[in-house]
């Protein structure tokens, strides 16, 4: 249930109706104001994955103390627990924001196996792992354009929560195929490696599928900027994108640039749009206890918030929400070493060591030579650390590829008195940011599920109706029509649901929005979803069979 929402608009409409029915010829001031008030038709949600409040505080001080773009939107707190744990994984955390339902660790866009946290209603057995519709899917079916942006691979947990359904966030094949066939208008981020046939178990070339479905497929910032297409798919790295501090602007766009481009494309639809933007690697830096990575990508994310907010204020038809899915790392300004002198240390004590860093730990790894004999020189040049101990040098030399943030992050944290409680997620409430031109913001202490329902209300869409339309239990629905339901698994990595009734044969390839009835292909309004035990199809697939 939504909390602390304003209902002045409804009251004004009711009063206007009463006045008019009383026979007054002159409209009231309230009626005139209502007639000129713009309607919200777009929603942009920006998710800084794993961003604790300490991360925004540190970034603000790092940038001189000036307000962040997010600051003026602060409107409440969000409870982030999942269906069965007080500390959430990104998959159920994002699922709650996308669908209005809490779920289980690793589950993307599906219900959990059980609800055990206090206050949650028991889950029916038949609903276990059932796919549930996201706000994005509901917006798409209502005629709006839709898009996702991420600085991680686009099939990572949070973007997947809005666009796919599977009880295992690590099944990139199943998730990415659903996303390619999901009918999105804009996808910007990275992860093209996972679309290539040589790394996919199903051997499908999804990049060619993207192109064949009418998208302008781009891989450079210049090509993204130059695109005039209404359907745009941009992937700028084989796996994740670089941290902002390490980013080569000729190879990868910033998250703010991607947000601006997505809005440019999506806003061409007069019916409106829904856009999800994730600052993915804030979370990764927090896992590594790396304050440089956090500052790098919180600042970049905040610029994207500024882009969205500027558009919303200019056009007066867009609601903007920003909230993380969970905290991470327990970052603090001050650590165990400042227990007795915390109030005597100047700001420079905490910030100056951080200001010396020119790259994140990930960026530093690329500066080390093959035998890592230049550790001291690299750390002095790029991190400003000239007092490395022998043990620290040995730790850097021994760091596995892809893990340098985990080694050097704590080193600079110690020198800047930045504290950490964990290398994992944390369960505290997080800050809610919201802005709407009609003043109808989400406020107070709310559940993460309330965010999805607020966005659905602003867009005028119904999540439950969308779930019923997109996810019908295939066997039950077709058998009620007198049909037989089988499974063609000759190619185990490309299974097909086969439905027969009399002389009619309906084939439904799993994770695609395609149906083949008696040899003729039809496009469905959603994808066929297999959750490991059951198959769900859109009602439009059921309706194809007489």
Active site annotation includes 280:
no
Query: Do the annotations mark residue 533 as ligand-binding?
Result: no
Copy the structure tokens of residue 274: 């829904």
Rounded Cα distance, 292 and 272, in Å: 37
Q: Is 325 annotated as a binding residue?
A: yes
- Note the maximum CA span of the chain: 88
d(CA 404, CA 398): 10
Q: Tell whether residue 156 is among the known ligand binding residues.
A: yes
The residue to which tokens 């185990």 are assigned: 492
The secondary structure element, H or E, covering residue 75 is strand 74-79
Q: Would the annotation count 326 as a binding residue? A: yes
425 labelled as ligand-binding?
yes
Between helix 448-459 and helix 90-99 the angle, nearest 10°, is: 30
The DSSP string of 430-491 is: EEEEEE-TTS----EEEEHHHHHHHHHHHHT--HHHHHHHH-EEHHHHHHHTT-EEEEE-SS
Q: Which of 453, 234, 416 is nearest to 338 (CA)?
A: 416
Helix, strand, coil proportions of the chain in percent (round to 5)?
A: 40, 20, 40
Instruction: Report which of 179, 173, 107 is spatially closest to residue 147, judged by C-alpha positions.
Output: 179
Instruction: Tell me whether residue 287 is annotated as binding.
Output: yes
Q: Is 214 helix (H, G, I), strand (E, B) or coil?
A: coil
Place of tokens 């002198």: 341
Whole-angstrom Cα distance, residue 181 to residue 526?
8
522 is in an annotated binding site: no
CA-atom Rg of the chain in angstroms: 25
Residue in 75, 82, 90, 260 annotated catalytic? 90
Active site residues: 90
- Residues annotated within the binding site are 49, 156, 158, 278, 283, 287, 325-326, 425
- Residues annotated within the binding site for Zn(2+) are 49, 283, 287, 325-326, 425
- Residues annotated within the binding site for Mg(2+) are 49, 156, 158, 278
């Amino acid at each position: 249930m939504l909390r602390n929402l304003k209902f002045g608009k409804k009251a004004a409409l009711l009063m206007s109706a009463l006045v008019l029915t009383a026979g007054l010829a002159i409209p009231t001031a309230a009626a005139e104001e209502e007639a000129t008030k713009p309607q919200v038709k777009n929603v942009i949600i920006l998710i800084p994955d794993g961003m604790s409040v300490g991360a925004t505080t540190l970034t603000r001080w790092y940038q001189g103390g000036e307000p962040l773009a997010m600051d003026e939107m602060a409107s409440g707190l969000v409870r982030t627990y999942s269906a069965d744990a007080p500390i959430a994984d990104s998959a159920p955390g994002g699922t709650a924001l996308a669908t209005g339902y809490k779920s289980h660790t690793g589950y993307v866009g599906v219900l959990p196996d059980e609800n055990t946290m206090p206050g949650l209603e028991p889950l029916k057995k038949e609903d276990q792992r059932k796919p549930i519709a996201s706000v994005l899917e509901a917006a798409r079916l209502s005629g709006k354009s839709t898009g996702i942006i991420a600085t991680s691979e686009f099939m990572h947990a949070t973007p997947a929560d809005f666009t796919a359904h599977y009880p295992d966030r690590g099944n990139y094949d199943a998730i990415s195929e659903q996303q390619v066939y999901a009918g999105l208008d804009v996808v910007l981020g990275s992860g093209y490696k996972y679309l290539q046939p040589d790394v996919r178990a199903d051997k499908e070339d999804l990049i060619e599928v993207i192109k064949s479905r009418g998208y302008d497929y781009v891989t450079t910032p210049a090509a993204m900027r130059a695109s005039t297409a209404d359907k745009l798919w941009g992937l700028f790295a084989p796996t994740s994108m670089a941290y902002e501090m390490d980013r080569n602007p000729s190879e990868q766009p910033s998250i703010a640039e991607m947000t601006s481009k997505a809005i440019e494309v999506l806003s061409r639809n007069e019916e409106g749009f829904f856009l999800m933007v994730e600052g993915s690697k804030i979370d990764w830096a927090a896992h590594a206890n790396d304050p440089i990575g956090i500052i790098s990508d919180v600042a970049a994310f905040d610029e994207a918030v500024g882009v969205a907010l500027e558009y919303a204020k200019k056009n007066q038809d867009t609601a903007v929400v920003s909230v993380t899915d969970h905290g991470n790392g327990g970052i603090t300004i001050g650590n165990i070493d400042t227990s007795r002198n915390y109030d005597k240390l100047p700001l420079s004590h905490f910030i100056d060591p951080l200001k010396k860093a020119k790259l994140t730990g990930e960026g530093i790894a690329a500066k080390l030579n093959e035998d890592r004999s230049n550790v001291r020189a690299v750390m002095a040049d790029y991190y400003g650390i000239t007092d490395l101990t022998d043990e620290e040098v040995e730790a850097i030399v021994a760091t596995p590829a892809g893990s340098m943030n985990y080694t050097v992050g704590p080193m600079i944290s110690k020198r800047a008195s930045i504290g950490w409680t964990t290398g994992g997620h944390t369960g505290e409430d997080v800050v809610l940011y919201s802005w709407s031109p009609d003043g109808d913001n989400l406020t107070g202490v709310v559940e993460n599920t309330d965010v999805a329902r607020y966005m659905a209300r602003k867009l005028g869409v119904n999540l439950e109706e969308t779930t019923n339309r997109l996810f019908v239990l295939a066997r039950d629905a077709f058998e009620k029509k007198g049909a037989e339901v089988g499974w063609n698994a000759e190619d185990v990595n490309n299974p097909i649901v086969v439905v027969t009734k009399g002389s009619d044969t309906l084939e439904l390839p799993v994770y695609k929005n395609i149906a083949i009835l008696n040899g003729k292909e039809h496009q469905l309004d959603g994808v066929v979803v297999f959750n490991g035990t059951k198959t769900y199809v859109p009602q439009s697939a059921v309706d194809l069979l007489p």
